[in-house]
Amino acid sequence: MITLGILALVLLDLFARFEPRVAVSILLSGLTLGAIYFLVSSGLSLIFGLMDVLNFAHGVLFMAGAYIGYAFYASGFGQSMDSNLRFLIAILVGGASGALLGGIMEFALIRPLYQRPIYQVLLTLGLTFVGTEIIKAIWGTVGYFMETPKFFNTNSPNCPSPSLLDFLADNCSSILILGRPFPSYRLFVILFGVLVFVGMITLLQKTRIGIVIRAGVQDAEMVQALGVNVRRVFTGVFALGTGLAGMGGVIAAPIIGVNLAMGQEFLLQGFIAVVIGGMGSLVGATAGALLLGLARAIGDQLVLSGLQLPWMEQALSLSPSIARASTVLIMALVLLVRPAGLFGKKD
Amino acid sequence: MKIIRENAPALALIGAMVLFPFAISLLTGEPIDAGTPKFWQGMLAQVFILAVYAISYDLLMGYAGILSFGHAMFFGAGGYVVGILLKHAGWSLPAATLAVILSAAALSLLIGVTALRVQGVYLTMVTLAFAQMMFVISEATDFREWTGAEDGLQSIPVPAWLSPTHQRLTFYFVSLAFCILSYYLVRRITQSPTGRVLVAIRENELRARAIGYNTFVYKLVAMVVAGIMAALAGMMNALWNLNANPNMLATSTTINALLMTIIGGAGTLSGPLLGAAFIHLLGYGLNVAFGPRWPLLFGLVYVAIVLFLPYGFMGAWRSWLLKRRLKM
Amino acid sequence: MSLKQPLLSLTGVNTYIGQSHILQGVDLIVPAGHVTALLGRNGAGKTTTLRSIMGLWRPRSGQIVFDGARLDGLPTHEIAARGLGYVPEHRAIFRDLSVFENLQIAERKRGDLDRALPKLHTLFPDLKRFESRAGRHLSGGQQQMLAIARAMVADNRLLLIDEPSEGLAPIIVGAIVEALKQLKGQMTVLLVEQNFRMAAALSDFYCVLDDGHTVRAGEMAELTSDAALTARLLGAG
């Protein structure tokens, strides 16, 4: 209810402030960001909900997925392949490497520490540091730019595509939405987020493993006493969560690039989304990610066009860093009102 | 006499540190304000500053059981406040120091009131988020003329009498005094009733609350004291480096505090002291030996310590003592 | 004391929780096909005994033998898989899962639930009526029934039931006693119960713990016929 209320207020303000086509394009930008945040926050939230581990290494696995996926996409190894196929495989490679690294991490390093929860947090923080240094050692300190595949990046005289249907034929890099061009790749990111969300909900609600996970979030010990090997489920869920993050890294790469700052940045946004939504709830993590994405999109727009409040004579122009920093304030606000988050189950 | 006997190791250590520059000078035959003696005065001055930073973190984590991942923000804030006031506002050092203390108190109150509303890992995340916010702001181009954005605030005009380049020995003794005073202050706090309440909160907050302590206030006090100390350490660090930069606010700076505290042994005051010396000297050694790859080794050392030496050097030392005593 | 073949036996079990020595050498025999009541004051170590059997606390020494094989040292899920159903204190049903899902999760082999469901629905008709209701919307008695049913989904040979009457109204306790009575003879049960009258009505054998030690064990008839002994062992009651 509260979330819907906030959402309604945000949207109302959005449409009051901007003309509809600008508002819609901000909304879509927000959903794009929200979809990427969701890929990070859903895993964080599930892992915390099930095994009480706050995984500070989530960001570095997001980054590792991006680098490894990019390396595959850009390497000569796949160059002969069609760029669309290459991109699809890159997403899978990023996801697989996130899942593999996360699974190994849980099994080898975190598992011995279930009796000492603080040390798990200390450990994952240390792994962030180590992981970043390893990536730096392999790929250097300069960032990379990842091109979108041909499917979202074809030049033709028709561009930008007048409609979604036309896009399927001409594959322009942007599509006209209410007469304003919007990058077609970002629409794909939104769609991808929706698909993952539906997949996760199906997994959690309709499968036996989903039942085990939902039960384990509440009482892992009791699940174990029913004969389920919870430790194996832990490793699986950890790998699932970090796999989503790794995939998210590849998905985000064509938008934000591949660089050493992305891990920290998205870990932080993931945390904020989870704090806003409430730990241990997939719906919460999703709602938090969407709210945050929208807030960022609106913030970026305001920063870009300059912030003019009624009592100001001149618009205040700011750098995008300010919009980035301001999301922390949103988190602080939510915490003050509802310390357990909007959908929180655990304190 | 009794006081001297009880504190003999500490007094001996202080004495050794006071004599250290002269001893090195005698040993190497170089003048006290040049060459090897000057270099080692600098190394130790940095250790003293980092030790204060580590002790302030230990007060939070080791005593009050507050796991904050945002401690770097106080360290960085101290550096930036003193830098901006000295360079852009032309304040005197004492006035700037007072401003550092007041602003750190205000900042830690603000963070504390928000973050202490939540417990455990939530607090950890929230403090990290605040620190990241400060980090992002320090790099923001909007305030370039004040902060120097991503380049940092360069060439802070440190008063001539304290100049780390020209008056190294003075800087050494000021850092030493700063370290001794901070250590003494925190020891007074941890041995006072307040310190015992903090430990009670760490062990079992519900029980401490049930006995009737307002645990929120106690934790807030710990945060403010730790915040001020970290900010002063950050100030000293900025004076030493003659600059304040975004790196002081970065997560790696918080990790550094964690590392020094854990490696030495959390919940003991000599632990962080030891940890600071170890980390700084090890970092220097690794840097000499491995060049730009040393942070990786550093991280691996940290991970190994978390896994295998959870109570740090002091913990390992104490359990060794205990075992030996049991055998006798 | 005439004892049949024991399905479960504990010998000299010592369990620590942190630094505290909770079980200080518990001996216990649970004969196959019967209900055994584990009695004793609050804090005597009854719940810890059940948790030690399930491997939820690891005994530091002693033996736990189930059907001829050692259980101690095995991980909890393997202990359960040997055929032990556990109904913990406070029931611990999954609040966010529906009644049906609460049963489904207890399947160890495909088809367990299909096979068990008719019997469970006869025992506890409410579970059929509220099949899709979330666990948190059940009454205390319904939660207790669900917890017992959950332990019976898989093909278990021993049920460990901890304080089934705790916090329930007398009339509901009556219904649960009736249900458990129907189980008698079909299953082996180790029952922890504060309510002596309920324990007496259900059990064939008893074992009394005090301060983590086994004080006395025997046939229930011995206790029910000797009020003085009962009072001495269990205090007033």
Lowest mean pLDDT of A60-74, A323-337, B123-137, name the range. A323-337
Q: What is the pLDDT of residue C141?
A: 86
Same domain as B233, residue B284:
no
Same domain as B233, residue B130:
yes
Q: Which residues of C touch A222 (CB under 8 A)?
A: 88, 92, 94
Interface of C with A in 28-47 (CB under 8 A): none
The beta-carbon neighbor of B117 closest among A324, A331, A335 is: A335
Same domain as C14, residue C73:
yes
CB contact under 8 A, A225 and C95: no
* Whether C95 contacts chain A with CB within 8 A: yes
The beta-carbon neighbor of A219 closest among C77, C94, C106 is: C94
| Nearest-angstrom CA–CA distance, B19 and B29 | 15
Q: How confident is the model at residue A255 (pLDDT cuts 50, 70, 90)?
A: very high
Q: Which of C155, C174, C206 is the last residue of a domain?
A: C155
Percent of chain A with pLDDT over 70: 93
Q: How confident is the model at residue A77 (pLDDT cuts 50, 70, 90)?
A: low
Same domain as C15, residue C118:
no
* Residue C24: both structure tokens together: 């200080």
The beta-carbon neighbor of A133 closest among B69, B117, B299 is: B299
Lowest mean pLDDT of A226-240, B279-293, C134-148, name the range. B279-293
CA-closest candidate to residue A36, choices A300, A260, A296: A296
Residues 6+ apart with CB under 8 A from B89: none
Same domain as C170, residue C212:
yes
Residues A143-184 have pLDDT tens digits of: 898 888 888 888 788 788 888 888 888 888 888 888 888 898
Whether residue A59 is contained in a domain is answered as yes
Whether residue B94 is contained in a domain is answered as yes
Whether residue C88 is contained in a domain is answered as no
* Whether C164 contacts chain A with CB within 8 A: no
Q: Which of C155, C181, C209 is the last residue of a domain?
A: C155
CB contact under 8 A, C54 and A225: yes
* Residue B106: both structure tokens together: 């205000």
Same domain as C168, residue C127:
no
Q: Which of the listed ranges A78-87, A240-249, C30-39 does the model predict with the highest average pLDDT?
A: A240-249
Torsion of CA B284, B286, B290, B295, to 10 degrees: -100
Closest chain A CA to residue B261: A122
Checking if the pLDDT of A346 tops 50, the result is no
Torsion of CA A218, A219, A224, A225, to 10 degrees: -130
Q: How confident is the model at residue B212 (pLDDT cuts 50, 70, 90)?
A: confident
Stretch B136-162: mean pLDDT: 83
Closest chain A CA to residue B128: A268
Same domain as B148, residue B81:
yes
Same domain as B328, residue B249:
no
Whether residue C227 is contained in a domain is answered as yes
Question: Hey, is C21 helix, strand or coil?
Answer: strand
Same domain as C106, residue C79:
no
Same domain as B251, residue B120:
yes
Residue A153 to chain C, least CA–CA distance (Å): 45
Whether residue C1 is contained in a domain is answered as no
Give CA separation, C107 vs A115, B131, C187, in Å.
Answer: 29, 48, 18
CB contact under 8 A, C80 and A215: no
Residues B57-99 have pLDDT tens digits of: 999 988 888 889 899 999 999 999 999 999 888 889 999 999 9
Lowest mean pLDDT of A169-178, A256-265, A320-329, name the range. A320-329
Number of domain units in chain A? 1
Same domain as C164, residue C141:
no
Q: Can you give the pTM of this predicted structure? A: 0.85
Whether residue B327 is contained in a domain is answered as yes
The alpha carbon of residue C86 and the mean position of all alpha carbons in its chain are separated, in whole angstroms, by 6
Residue to substitute from A50, A201, A222, interface C, most C β-carbons within 10 A:
A222
CB contact under 8 A, A336 and B114: yes
Q: Please give the residue range of the domain that contains residue C189.
A: 6-83+157-234
Whether residue B201 is contained in a domain is answered as yes
Same domain as B317, residue B174:
no
Percent of chain B with pLDDT over 70: 98
Whether residue A13 is contained in a domain is answered as no
Whether residue B16 is contained in a domain is answered as no
CATH number, position C70: 3.40.50.300
Residue A345 to chain C, least CA–CA distance (Å): 11
Q: Which of A19-26's residues contact partners 24+ apart within 8 Å by CB, and which partners?
A: A20/A178, A21/A177, A21/A178, A21/A179, A21/A180, A22/A180, A22/A301, A24/A177, A24/A178, A24/A180, A25/A177, A25/A178, A25/A180, A25/A182, A26/A297, A26/A298, A26/A301
Q: Please give the residue range of the domain that contains residue A168.
A: 34-153+160-304+315-337
The beta-carbon neighbor of A130 closest among B119, B124, B296 is: B296
CA-closest candidate to residue C193, choices C230, C147, C162, C159: C162
Whether residue B122 is contained in a domain is answered as yes
Same domain as B71, residue B194:
yes
The beta-carbon neighbor of A225 closest among C80, C94, C102 is: C80
Residue A110 to chain B, least CA–CA distance (Å): 9
Same domain as B198, residue B168:
yes
Whether residue A58 is contained in a domain is answered as yes
Same domain as B293, residue B152:
no
Q: Please give the residue range of the domain that contains residue B324.
A: 276-328
**Which chains border C (3 or more CB–CB pairs < 8 Å)?**
A
Q: What is the pLDDT of residue B82?
A: 94
Same domain as B197, residue B162:
yes
Whether residue B14 is contained in a domain is answered as no
Torsion of CA C165, C170, C173, C177, to 10 degrees: 120
The alpha carbon of residue B206 and the mean position of all alpha carbons in its chain are separated, in whole angstroms, by 30
**Is B touching C (3+ C-beta pairs, cut-off 8 A)?**
no
| Cis geometry, peptide bond prior to residue A160 (ω within 30 degrees of 0) | yes
Count chain A–chain C contacts defined by CB atoms under 8 A: 60
CB contact under 8 A, C75 and A208: no
Q: How confident is the model at residue A76 (pLDDT cuts 50, 70, 90)?
A: low
Stretch C176-181: mean pLDDT: 86
Q: Which residues of A touch C104 (CB under 8 A)?
A: 208, 211
Stretch A300-305: mean pLDDT: 77
Q: ipTM score here?
A: 0.88
| Residue A310 CB burial class (10 angstroms; 0-12, 13-18, ≥19) | exposed
Same domain as B255, residue B302:
no
Whether residue A342 is contained in a domain is answered as no
Q: How confident is the model at residue B175 (pLDDT cuts 50, 70, 90)?
A: very high
Q: How confident is the model at residue C1 (pLDDT cuts 50, 70, 90)?
A: very low
* Whether B133 contacts chain A with CB within 8 A: yes
Whether residue C175 is contained in a domain is answered as yes
b (16+ CB within 10 A) / e for B280-301: bebbeebeeeeeeebbbbbbeb
Residues C93-125 have pLDDT tens digits of: 898 899 999 999 988 888 888 888 888 888 888
Residue to substitute from A116, A119, A133, A292, interface B, most B β-carbons within 10 A:
A133
Same domain as B238, residue B119:
yes
Number of domain units in chain C? 2
CATH number, position A330: 1.10.3470
Whether residue B13 is contained in a domain is answered as no
Side chain identity at residue C39, one-letter code: L
Checking if the pLDDT of B109 tops 90, the result is yes
Stretch C86-90: mean pLDDT: 90
**Which chains border B (3 or more CB–CB pairs < 8 Å)?**
A
Sheet holding C158-162, edge to edge: C84-87, C158-162, C188-192, C35-39, C205-210, C213-219
Contact in structure between C148 and C179 (CB atoms under 8 Å): yes
Percent of chain B with pLDDT over 90: 32
Q: What is the DSSP letter of A279?
A: T
Whether residue B63 is contained in a domain is answered as yes
Q: Which of B239, B263, B287 is the last residue of a domain?
A: B263
Same domain as C149, residue C42:
no
Other beta carbons less than 10 A from residue C224's beta carbon:
17
Contact in structure between A56 and A319 (CB atoms under 8 Å): no
How far the first Cα of chain B sits from its last, in Å, is 30
Checking if the pLDDT of A189 tops 50, the result is yes
| Nearest-angstrom CA–CA distance, B93 and B158 | 8
Other beta carbons less than 10 A from residue B6's beta carbon:
10
Same domain as C79, residue C19:
yes
* Whether B144 contacts chain A with CB within 8 A: no
Count chain A–chain B contacts defined by CB atoms under 8 A: 109
| Residue A91 CB burial class (10 angstroms; 0-12, 13-18, ≥19) | buried
Characterise A176 by phi-psi region: left (phi > 0), alpha (psi -120 to 50), beta (else).
beta
Whether residue A9 is contained in a domain is answered as no
Other beta carbons less than 10 A from residue A121's beta carbon:
23
Q: What is the pLDDT of residue B60?
A: 92
| Residue B170 CB burial class (10 angstroms; 0-12, 13-18, ≥19) | middle
